[in-house]
Structure 1
């Protein structure tokens, strides 16, 4: 049990490429017990699995070591423990690499835990699993390159119980990065589903970091957010009953308000009465938010019931190639000439029989997201042609036809670019929780 009635936990990152400076501010001035770095999106881990196959010593988040170089000295000095899913496809290799960073900084004696067990590729490859999204079964997908189950908070809490200063995981449910430290600190039982449901609310609010302090929320004067260039990341002051105050370091940019908290609470939630996680089916319908001072919002309520007994799995699979070409037109009748250019490329791709599985022909800023220009014609417009194909050669033909518009299309084209990229797509399925076994590997720096 925590000796303190309050546990302070911060959000150090909300995605793989997130800024590092706000996390350092939290560590320096947030008086944190824990900080969590959330660094995995749905396809991120599939791409990491490919890097691991190319080099068995890699497969973790590319920014992990730089984050640790900057965060570890401050965290060690402040006594803050770190939890992150930046281990991605290779938590053990990540833990060894972080240990090397710690030693290079003269920070010996750190205990680093690697949580494994989320990689269920052999299980998925040997089964025909119904898919949650898209429709169909796993048999309908292209070659499967990865399959990772969303683990819960139990192994994180267990690693902290074993004295870990840093816990590095692969795929876990995002709220679990915050629930695990709270379970450890307060001695909660994971069988207390009402309590874990309330903790899930806190984890969900914090998991996207800057989104809670006004990032992505900001919308000009309509939803004004001060000092976005210096956006601070959030922290929660959590009580033993899983009520909390969410806030940020004073003097940092952004805001914490009822509006920012409400938007984040609803983010990626399909059914607020049944938010499925590995540890609990959380119920957000009784959550209550109230102002508790400048940049301070009190969070209470919420609940939960036992988990479903199944874990969500993200399956990464090869889905062909995307070829793309872009070029800009400016000046009088720019949009008219741009549409002419699109027609030329559309006809050329048909004449040369490029085998497109799907394609898009967009005037960026005019109709690429079903948006009309309103009064007045644009004086500058950029076209984008993109198509999905089965081969890199066919994908390259798309950009080539756009680039050819320089001398074979309307006047005034410039700034052409072209690219080909392999597509690793993501699908979702469920597997029995009993089929997934977790392990903790302890490494000394």
Structure 2
């Protein structure tokens, strides 16, 4: 039974740009039909892209687009390996035009680049959604954008129409893999078991090296060979949707039953009902079997009819985020860092400030500072290398800026020995999720010239 290979060369925006070439070379060496996906779009990433597009209408797509594609675009075109990605972010058309220019710059024949449209909700409807989500008190003038998580059907349609590259915006992550599988095998859109299996193949791929040992690695507990050169995942799917996952070679990393199980469960709120735009996947009876070195089979996945609604993220202006940091080292460093926090709290009583003592308490801290107040003097006494972080969110830019000025003043206003001040002021987008009836989202694709 011939299999279809799908490789993933990115798991988030900012992922390594040298991952794609081993993936493509491995798929070419194995022969047969294949596709390459890049997953680069998280909620935070889309918010940043929307901010970039507001500043420059030509921006708003994946900043590393050319660095990701340049090493493999020629090989993919030559070997008829289509590329599918959500690196269009807030500006899929802009990304598509940049890909065409990149091909010209590389001396390659012009690829057929398709853009999937429909995830972005029109402004009028988006403002209405914002009011529904947050109530009448919200100022809908703060609305920036709304994007629905769309599915795999238009990706498949674009590939069947001859696309070499399919650029998406807010498509669901596993749909990037389901789309080419649909196009290759010709499955019906209500073939729930096959759709669910290919969806979970996409779920295993979507976070890149997470499934091949990256996020898994924990020295002395879960050792991973040659992590510095970790390979990225490749799945083989057959016509029944059965999955075998491996990785690019020759690279580091590992694919075994443990890495696969961790990734299968990643971000699943309910293993019996993983909701996607295409299908509801059920992995409660899935079996994970080691077939050989870096070869794992996943079987027993079932599917149920897709949800009637689509998750939609609504972004609106969220004021300003101010962050300031200063370091204290040597004897009584912890006590001096805490005194600095007390100074800031007294100087700025009108602000709600989060304080972290990096090196003492930060990851496990809370915005209200309750855990920090419970840190005992003995814990502070043993700390000799502490960085104080102070942060606040505020609607007014000048109010947020006042925190940064006070952090900077700690240089000479005490406590003793503070140094290495760093400050940052950024505009924010807030997000709220909403379920939108499916028939309100019209998805299509078009080729870009």
Deviations 1:307-338 (A, max 9, x none): 12111101111111111111111111111111
SS in 1 for 2:173: coil
Q: What CA distance in whole angstroms lies between the structure 2 residues aligned with 1:48 and 1:405?
A: 35
1:375 shift after superposition: 11
The aligned residue for residue 410 of structure 1 is 415
Q: What CA distance in whole angstroms lies between the structure 1 residues aligned with 2:379 and 2:213?
A: 29
Query: Which one of 429, 432, 435 corresponds to residue 430 of structure 1?
Result: 435
Counterpart mapping for 1:108-257 below 5 A: 108-122=109-123, 123-127=125-129, 130-131=132-133, 136-137=134-135, 140=138, 143-257=142-256
1:289 shift after superposition: 0.5
Q: How many residues align?
A: 432
CA gap of 1:403–1:214, structure 2 versus 1, over 3 A, is same
Q: What runs of 5+ residues in structure 2 fail to find an aligned partner? A: 366-374
1:77 shift after superposition: 3.1
CA gap of 1:328–1:287, structure 2 versus 1, over 3 A, is same
Q: 2:287, 2:298 within 8 Å by CA — same for their partners in 1?
A: yes
Q: What runs of 5+ residues in structure 1 fail to find an aligned partner? A: none
Q: 1:128, 1:139 within 8 Å by CA — same for their partners in 2?
A: no
The aligned residue for residue 87 of structure 2 is 86
CA gap of 1:115–1:235, structure 2 versus 1, over 3 A, is same
The aligned residue for residue 404 of structure 2 is 399
1:443 shift after superposition: 3.0
Report the TM-score, using the length of structure 2 for normalisation: 0.92
Q: What CA distance in whole angstroms lies between the structure 1 residues aligned with 2:80 and 2:290?
A: 30
1:384 shift after superposition: 0.6
The aligned residue for residue 339 of structure 1 is 338
The aligned residue for residue 259 of structure 2 is 260
The aligned residue for residue 18 of structure 1 is 15
Report the TM-score, using the length of structure 1 for normalisation: 0.92
CA gap of 1:322–1:183, structure 2 versus 1, over 3 A, is same
CA gap of 1:375–1:412, structure 2 versus 1, over 3 A, is closer
Q: 2:20, 2:71 within 8 Å by CA — same for their partners in 1?
A: no
Q: What CA distance in whole angstroms lies between the structure 1 residues aligned with 2:235 and 2:360?
A: 42
Q: 2:129, 2:314 within 8 Å by CA — same for their partners in 1?
A: no
Q: What CA distance in whole angstroms lies between the structure 2 residues aligned with 1:325 and 1:367?
A: 16
Q: What CA distance in whole angstroms lies between the structure 2 residues aligned with 1:138 and 1:254?
A: 51
Q: 1:116, 1:439 within 8 Å by CA — same for their partners in 2?
A: yes
Q: 2:324, 2:421 within 8 Å by CA — same for their partners in 1?
A: yes
SS in 2 for 1:245: strand
Query: Which one of 335, 358, 365 corresponds to residue 364 of structure 1?
Result: 358
The aligned residue for residue 4 of structure 2 is 7
SS in 2 for 1:312: strand
